[in-house]
Chain A
Amino acid sequence: MSDFTTNRRSLLKGGATLLAAAATMSSEELLGYAKAWAQTAPWKPEAGAKVNLLRWKRFVEAEDVAFMKIVDAFQKANNVTISVSNESYDDIQPKASVAANTGQGLDMVWGLYSLPFLFPSKCTDMTDVADYLGKKCGGWAPSGEAYGKQDGKWIGIPVAASGGLINYRMSAVEKAGHKEFPKDLDGFADLIKGMNKNGTPAGMALGHASGDANGWLHWALWAHGGNLIDQNNKVVITSPETAKALEYVKVLYDNFLPGTASWNDSSNNKAFAAGQLYLTTNGISIYVTAKTENPQMAADINHAHLPVGVDGKLRELHLGFPILVYNFTKFPQTCKAFTAFMLDPEQFNPWLESAQGYLSPFLLGYTANPMWTADPKNTPYRDVASTATTPAGIGKMGEDAAAAIADFVVVDMFANYCTGREDVKTAMASAERSAKRIFR
Chain B
Amino acid sequence: MSTLQTSVPVQASGADTLSLWARLRVNRNWIALWFMLPAAAFLILFLAYPLGLGIWMSFTDERIGRPGIFVGLDNYQWLWDDSIFWLSVFNTLLYTIVASAIKFAVGLYLALLLNRNMPFKAFFRSIVLLPFIVPTVLSAIAFWWIYDAQFSIISWSLIKLGLIEHNINFLGDANWARGSVIFANIWRGVPFVAITLLAGLQTVSPSLYEAATLDGATSWQRFRHITYPLLTPIIAVVMTFSVLFTFTDFQLIWALTRGGPVNATHLMATLSYQRGIISGRLGEGAAIATAMIPFLLAAIAISWFGMQRRKWQQGSSND
Chain B residues contacting A121 (CB-CB under 8 Å) are: 65-66
CB B178 to nearest CB in A, in angstroms, measures 12
> Which of chain B's residues has its CB closest to A123's CB?
B65
- With beta carbons under 8 angstroms apart, the residue of A97, A257, A419, A437 that contacts B262 is A419
CB A411 to nearest CB in B, in angstroms, measures 9
A97 and B262 CA atoms in complex are apart in Å by: 25
If A258-B172, A262-B257, A415-B261 touch, whether A406 touches B278 (CB-CB below 8 Å) is yes
Chain A residues contacting B262 (CB-CB under 8 Å) are: 261, 412, 415-416, 419, 421
The reply to whether A208 and B260 form a contact with Cβ atoms under 8 Å apart is: yes
The reply to whether B278 and A122 form a contact with Cβ atoms under 8 Å apart is: no
A402 and B280 CA atoms in complex are apart in Å by: 9
- With beta carbons under 8 angstroms apart, the residue of B83, B150, B166, B261 that contacts A271 is B150
Find residues 390-440 in chain A having any chain B CB closer than 8 Å to their own CB. Answer: 399, 402-404, 406-407, 412, 415-416, 419, 421, 430, 433-434, 437-438
A385 at interface by CB-CB < 8 Å = no
Find residues 252-303 in chain A having any chain B CB closer than 8 Å to their own CB. Answer: 257-264, 267, 270-271, 274, 276-277
Find residues 190-233 in chain A having any chain B CB closer than 8 Å to their own CB. Answer: 206-208
The 0/1 profile, CB within 8 Å of A marked 1, for residues 49-81 of chain B is 000000000000001111000000000001000
The reply to whether A261 and B172 form a contact with Cβ atoms under 8 Å apart is: yes
Q: What's the dominant secondary structure at chain A's contact region? A: helix
The reply to whether B149 and A260 form a contact with Cβ atoms under 8 Å apart is: yes
B258 at interface by CB-CB < 8 Å = yes
Chain B residues contacting A419 (CB-CB under 8 Å) are: 172-174, 261-262
CB A172 to nearest CB in B, in angstroms, measures 16
B151 at interface by CB-CB < 8 Å = yes
A220 and B109 CA atoms in complex are apart in Å by: 53
A379 and B136 CA atoms in complex are apart in Å by: 43
- With beta carbons under 8 angstroms apart, the residue of B66, B172, B177, B260 that contacts A119 is B66
A94 at interface by CB-CB < 8 Å = yes
- With beta carbons under 8 angstroms apart, the residue of B64, B260, B279, B280 that contacts A261 is B260
A100 at interface by CB-CB < 8 Å = yes
A140 and B151 CA atoms in complex are apart in Å by: 43
Chain A residues contacting B84 (CB-CB under 8 Å) are: 430, 434
Chain B residues contacting A98 (CB-CB under 8 Å) are: 277
The reply to whether B261 and A274 form a contact with Cβ atoms under 8 Å apart is: no
The 0/1 profile, CB within 8 Å of B marked 1, for residues 78-116 of chain A is 000000000000000110011011000000000000000
The reply to whether B258 and A208 form a contact with Cβ atoms under 8 Å apart is: yes
Chain B residues contacting A415 (CB-CB under 8 Å) are: 260-262
B303 at interface by CB-CB < 8 Å = no
The reply to whether B150 and A207 form a contact with Cβ atoms under 8 Å apart is: no
A94 and B278 CA atoms in complex are apart in Å by: 6
Chain B residues contacting A258 (CB-CB under 8 Å) are: 149, 166-167, 169, 172
Find residues 36-50 in chain A having any chain B CB closer than 8 Å to their own CB. Answer: none
If A419-B174, A421-B262 touch, whether A399 touches B63 (CB-CB below 8 Å) is yes
Find residues 233-270 in chain B having any chain A CB closer than 8 Å to their own CB. Answer: 257-263
Most buried by B among A118, A274, A434: A118
The 0/1 profile, CB within 8 Å of B marked 1, for residues 114-144 of chain A is 0000110110000000000000000000000
The 0/1 profile, CB within 8 Å of A marked 1, for residues 270-299 of chain B is 000011011111100000000000000000
B170 at interface by CB-CB < 8 Å = yes
A260 and B260 CA atoms in complex are apart in Å by: 11
A126 and B280 CA atoms in complex are apart in Å by: 23
- With beta carbons under 8 angstroms apart, the residue of A274, A403, A404 that contacts B150 is A274
A3 and B301 CA atoms in complex are apart in Å by: 70
The reply to whether A93 and B278 form a contact with Cβ atoms under 8 Å apart is: yes
The reply to whether B171 and A259 form a contact with Cβ atoms under 8 Å apart is: yes
A65 and B274 CA atoms in complex are apart in Å by: 33
If A262-B170, A262-B177, A406-B280 touch, whether A97 touches B64 (CB-CB below 8 Å) is yes
> Which of chain B's residues has its CB closest to A210's CB?
B278
Find residues 147-171 in chain B having any chain A CB closer than 8 Å to their own CB. Answer: 148-151, 166-167, 169-171
CB A249 to nearest CB in B, in angstroms, measures 14
Chain A residues contacting B167 (CB-CB under 8 Å) are: 258-259
Most buried by B among A208, A260, A267, A419: A208
- With beta carbons under 8 angstroms apart, the residue of B151, B170, B258, B275 that contacts A207 is B258
A122 and B280 CA atoms in complex are apart in Å by: 13
> Which of chain A's residues has its CB closest to B63's CB?
A399
**5 closest A-B pairs by CB:** A259-B149, A119-B65, A262-B171, A262-B172, A261-B261
Can you offer 30 A-B residue contacts whose CB atoms are under 8 A?
A: A94-B277, A97-B65, A97-B277, A98-B277, A119-B65, A121-B65, A122-B65, A207-B260, A258-B167, A259-B149, A259-B150, A259-B169, A262-B171, A262-B172, A262-B177, A267-B148, A270-B150, A271-B149, A271-B150, A399-B63, A399-B280, A402-B280, A406-B278, A406-B279, A406-B280, A407-B275, A412-B263, A415-B261, A421-B174, A430-B83
B residues whose Cβ falls under 8 Å from a Cβ of A: 63-66, 78, 82-84, 148-151, 166-167, 169-174, 177, 257-263, 274-275, 277-282
